[in-house]
Amino acid sequence: MFYWITLLVVVLDQGTKLWVRLEMTVGQSIPLWDGFQLTYYRNSGAMGSSFEGYGRYFIIPAVLVVFWLVYMLRKGELDGKLLQLGAACFAGGAIGNAIDRAIFGWVTDFIDMGRGISNLADHALNLGILFFVLSAFVVDPWRRRRAKKSIYS
């Protein structure tokens, strides 16, 4: 599951970014509905345009995190579907943005909801973190309580 979801995230991310680069000009906006539009932006930094011009430096941590996630998966530390889903989303997002940084030196952003411009990889990273948090603070405690009850039953 991990590898297929990671691949799906990378393909969707790179496909949408390719479409934006081919069909839009930098700075162009296409309104879709109230509060949501596509705006082509080249981000040479990190999230929120911080560290402008230093985007290539984020390739190394992205690669290290992906290798660490694969290592943890193979070691059996990512037990549970939610944890694996989170790891896959995070890895796919990291790879998607690393590809842009390696090829162009910037990341193609286009999802504009009025609070900054992002891309599918950014949202996959956030979704991955959300799944990690849900696994750690909701699913794992629930499993432990259930296991504890079955011991005493």
State the catalytic residues. 109, 122
- Contacts of 51-60 with C-beta under 8 Å, sequence gap 24+, read 55/101, 55/105, 55/106, 55/107, 56/101, 56/102, 56/105, 58/97, 58/98, 58/101, 59/98, 59/101, 59/102
